Amino acid sequence: MKKKTLIINGMILTMDELQENLIHCGFIVIEDGNIQKVGKLSEVDSSFVNSIPDIIDASGKLVMPGLINTHTHAAMTLFRGLADDIPLMTWLQNHIFPAESKAVNPEMVYWCSKLAAAEMILSGTTTVADGYFHEGSAAEAFAEAGLRSVAAQGVIDFPAPGVPDPAYNIDKTEDFIESWQGKNDLISPAVFCHSPYTCSSETLQKAKKLANRMNTLFFIHLAETKGEVEQTKAKHNTTPVQYLNSLGILDENTVCVHCVWLDEEDIKIIAQTGCGVSTCPDSNMKLASGVAPLDQMLKGNITIGLGTDGCASNNTLDIFAAMDLCAKVHKVKKLDPTVVSAGEVLKMATIDGARVLGMKKITGSLTPGKRADIIMLDLQQPHMQPMYNADNLVYAARGSDISTAIIDGNLVMKDRKILTIDIEEIKERVRSLSRDLTETI
Amino acid sequence: MKKKTLIINGMILTMDELQENLIHCGFIVIEDGNIQKVGKLSEVDSSFVNSIPDIIDASGKLVMPGLINTHTHAAMTLFRGLADDIPLMTWLQNHIFPAESKAVNPEMVYWCSKLAAAEMILSGTTTVADGYFHEGSAAEAFAEAGLRSVAAQGVIDFPAPGVPDPAYNIDKTEDFIESWQGKNDLISPAVFCHSPYTCSSETLQKAKKLANRMNTLFFIHLAETKGEVEQTKAKHNTTPVQYLNSLGILDENTVCVHCVWLDEEDIKIIAQTGCGVSTCPDSNMKLASGVAPLDQMLKGNITIGLGTDGCASNNTLDIFAAMDLCAKVHKVKKLDPTVVSAGEVLKMATIDGARVLGMKKITGSLTPGKRADIIMLDLQQPHMQPMYNADNLVYAARGSDISTAIIDGNLVMKDRKILTIDIEEIKERVRSLSRDLTETI
């Protein structure tokens, strides 16, 4: 017999363009991890409700699709708050790179990605796209946490954790993809090339070829800072976007992360090639990289997902906080309160994030046939009262308002307790790693 | 016998320039509502600890001064999320003003300010500067909640709630101040002139004269939008700041709210006159007003406090969220990650906020002799781990991390339960008001 669960009494935000978006008192049927039916509670009778023994009462809650974080470096939770308010190059060269070269090993990636997984689940994220080194250890952590993930192995033309000789960076990535592809329904392996300025054109093309051959996504940091654009223009006589396009890197299986400094031609190319964009407003603001031309990208029908970036440059993995910031920073940049609306930002954090990650048939909305990635948000907190419409989620809700998380049909968090992993053990391990780190740097 | 309480085992952030700022395992003695002693636990013996029967164990917590919100319109919680992402003038004229003219009465101000008080206490604010109409009802709500407040009665040259004939706006304010001055240690009445463009020069001067005579603070929205500056230049041939200065309005008992559009001369005048500034980054971003020249004001030694503004333009009263936004938006505006540092923002939200409100001898730091306005923050949440330094509070903490709040020596919130007021009754009343509102507008 198939396992059925019924969620009733909650306010439901479907994020499904073909259904009613906000149902004031609704129900959801989950069968074998799939969303089977979504509707108004008033349209079913009590015999239907009574026929399903496993009932979750969502009274006083908002039930919505789990959020999608399209860019982070999960293991960097270890570096949260280690070095704030420092110029980018000093930050990288004197703080982050030395800390990474001392601290990053499979054990660190495993425990610190597990801490990140806990933080993400507790703040409503049910799908994450991660990029780091020793990515197998991150994938293991996400799998144990029950978090849907795109786990992308880092490729860079410098000696890196686990890849002391960059000549083997593509081989290493191929090994990683082979060992994880098809292994776990929740984990999709992928390729993460650091950037056009830290990878040669040869590496970029080899890595993209590998991604194509293995049928995976390809991620790259792109046009993050003004300095990067200037450097690329000096070296390649074109913009970072146009440079990557000339190498054949840009297509609908490529995710361009940041995209802060784009010209009109860059925006056209991204739109034409069908690349996804991951925007990370917290990181771009804190590192003072700039404000992305999001309103122009939206007008160009580019699909945009939201990312937190890693904890060294944010310092949290809370997509609700990123939504608030994203909606506000573009308004003040353009001195126009109508640009990048709350509704557009909610799409970025859900259905459009799923599109960016090639998962629109699996997650991102409460649509029958998709997997059940569902979160419940406590509307009874004073800061959520009163509630006139869903836009208020963007400007008032925070990750801490999430009470329940279901991923792939499994209850992974209930009443703010994570059911899949031992959070006390994780914190203990990460604290021990942080003590080692401050002793050694 | 005097009532003594001892807080032990917590990490203590004093925000006191004469003491050590961060004590890793400390103690605080509170006697009759005053902070009597702050120090390292290792420096006292067990007989001292055992001599005080009332002990609060702050293990795993950060203990810090309660936060100070230097500008809000508390009763506007009723309008939270009612109308987002709308051009300023349409927002005011088609949404906020009609909603206010229908809904604002003493009962509404009382219940909606009480909801605001609950939200503020739950997110770590222990002192608020409020400005609205029927301010006596707001003061009553704050007093019952046990929230330290500057309650300022609104003055505007239009018919306003409770003041149908603006000819009486000063008299009404005088009555309000007389009825609250000296009545309750927690409540300081004050004057809130809406703005230089909604009050005549005569009203502005009369209101300031009243504030001087009654020895209260005088608040005013100032240089919030580019349009306001252009309008003032057209009408008075000078900037809003210089116009107010010519009227003799600016001195150290005046708090200028917003100060987004300032020229160099304006900044000099604010510094010379000793005005306090309340900056409200959430509101300035969401309404697309602009980014204040905070770095230049800080260089000019202007005292700056942080404000949330009202819930129609934010949509929460969370000073932690405002700190994060404040630190980030100035960095990205200047493309410099070193401006408006986390340390500076922490001062704005605590000791400098107290200075702006003329309360530096009473609150804003954990300094012996001050009243005990103390909050405890749960450092055990995954997003607060690991913890290298206090800067991380700005970039990672949120109001929901506050577990305990003490105001004026009284425990007002414990384990996220407010002990002074009935939150269920408040929510019920505000929900009923919100239903009336959406039926009538």
- How far apart are alpha carbons B281 and B129 in whole angstroms? 16
pLDDT per residue as tens digits for the range B164-186: 999 999 999 999 999 999 999 99
- How far apart are alpha carbons A376 and A369 in whole angstroms? 20
Whether B122 and B69 have beta carbons less than 8 Å apart is answered as: no
Number of H helices, E strands in chain A: 17, 19
In CATH, the number for domain A4-64+371-418 is 2.30.40.10
Q: What is the sign of the dihedral through the CA atoms of B381, A304, A377 and B323?
A: positive
Whether B127 and B151 have beta carbons less than 8 Å apart is answered as: no
Beta carbons of B423 and A329 less than 8 Å apart: no
Position B137 pLDDT exceeds 80: yes
Q: What is the sign of the dihedral through the CA atoms of A219, A225, A228 and A234?
A: positive
The label of the residue with tokens 């609950």 reads: B118
Q: Is the ipTM of this complex over 0.90?
A: yes
Amino acid identity of residue A43, one-letter, is E
Bond into B315 cis (ω within 30) = yes
- How far apart are alpha carbons A245 and A243 in whole angstroms? 5
pLDDT of residue A441: 59
pLDDT of residue B273: 98
Chain A residues within an 8 Å CB radius of B438: 388
DSSP three-state, residue A248? coil
Beta carbons of A85 and B335 less than 8 Å apart: no
Beta carbons of A318 and B383 less than 8 Å apart: yes
Whether A29 and A48 have beta carbons less than 8 Å apart is answered as: no
Which pLDDT band holds residue B2 (cuts at 50, 70, 90)?
A: confident
Instruction: Calculate the alpha carbon distances from B389 to A84, B102, B324 in Å.
Output: 10, 48, 15
Chain B residues within an 8 Å CB radius of A317: 383
To the nearest whole Å, the CA of B316 is away from the closest chain A CA by 6
Of A81, A122, A438, the CB nearest to B395: A81
Domain boundaries, chain B: 4-65+372-416, 67-356
The label of the residue with tokens 């609104």 reads: B154
Angle made by CA atoms A361, A365, A369, in degrees to the nearest 5: 50
- How far apart are alpha carbons A356 and A354 in whole angstroms? 5
Q: How many residues does chain B have?
A: 441
To the nearest whole Å, the CA of A112 is away from the closest chain B CA by 10
Beta carbons of A87 and B337 less than 8 Å apart: yes
Beta carbons of A380 and B427 less than 8 Å apart: yes
- DSSP symbols for A107-169: HHHHHHHHHHHHHHHHTTEEEEEEEESSHHHHHHHHHHHT-EEEEEEEE-SS-BTTBSSGGGH
Pick the CATH number of B67-356 from 1.20.120.1760, 3.20.20.140, 3.40.1360.10, 1.10.10.60: 3.20.20.140
- How far apart are alpha carbons A266 and A157 in whole angstroms? 25
- How far apart are alpha carbons B374 and B403 in whole angstroms? 11
Instruction: Calculate the alpha carbon distances from A35 to A19, A66, A409, B160, B386 in Å.
Output: 14, 13, 8, 52, 37
pLDDT of residue B91: 86
CATH 1.10.132.50 matches B4-65+372-416 = no
To the nearest whole Å, the CA of A86 is away from the closest chain B CA by 6
Chain A residues within an 8 Å CB radius of B341: 84-85
Chain A residues within an 8 Å CB radius of B334: 288
Helix axes A169-180, A201-214, angle to 10 degrees: 20
Rounded mean pLDDT, B384-400 = 95
Beta carbons of A327 and B80 less than 8 Å apart: no
Specify which residues A219 forms β-bridges with: A192, A255
Residue A194: closest CA among A222, A164, A226: A222
Of B287, B328, B386, the CB nearest to A78: B386
Residue B203: closest CA among B168, B238, B227, B228: B168
Q: How many CB pairs under 8 A join A and B?
A: 209
Whether B109 and B137 have beta carbons less than 8 Å apart is answered as: yes
Quick one: how far is CA A143 from the chain centroid? 16
Do domains A4-64+371-418 and A67-356 share one topology? The answer is no
Angle made by CA atoms A176, A408, A323, in degrees to the nearest 5: 85
Specify which residues B174 forms β-bridges with: none
Per-residue pLDDT of chain A (441 residues; tens, 9 = 90+): 578 999 999 999 999 988 889 999 999 999 999 999 999 999 988 898 889 989 999 999 999 999 999 999 999 999 999 999 998 788 888 998 889 988 999 999 999 999 999 999 999 999 999 999 999 999 999 999 999 999 999 999 999 999 999 999 999 999 999 999 999 999 999 999 999 999 999 999 999 999 999 999 999 999 999 999 999 999 999 999 999 999 999 999 999 999 999 999 999 999 999 999 999 999 999 999 999 999 999 999 999 999 999 999 999 999 999 999 999 999 999 999 999 999 999 999 999 999 999 999 999 999 999 999 999 999 999 999 999 999 999 999 999 999 999 999 999 999 999 999 999 999 999 999 999 998 865
- How far apart are alpha carbons A53 and A6 in whole angstroms? 8
Which residues have C-beta within 8 Å of that of residue A148, sequence separation ≥ 6?
A66, A126, A127, A128, A142, A186, A359, A363, A371, A373, A407, A408
Residue A79: closest CA among A115, A127, A106: A115
pLDDT per residue as tens digits for the range B216-267: 999 999 999 999 999 999 999 999 999 999 999 999 999 999 999 999 999 9
Per-residue tokens: A85: 């308010």
- How far apart are alpha carbons A431 and A422 in whole angstroms? 15
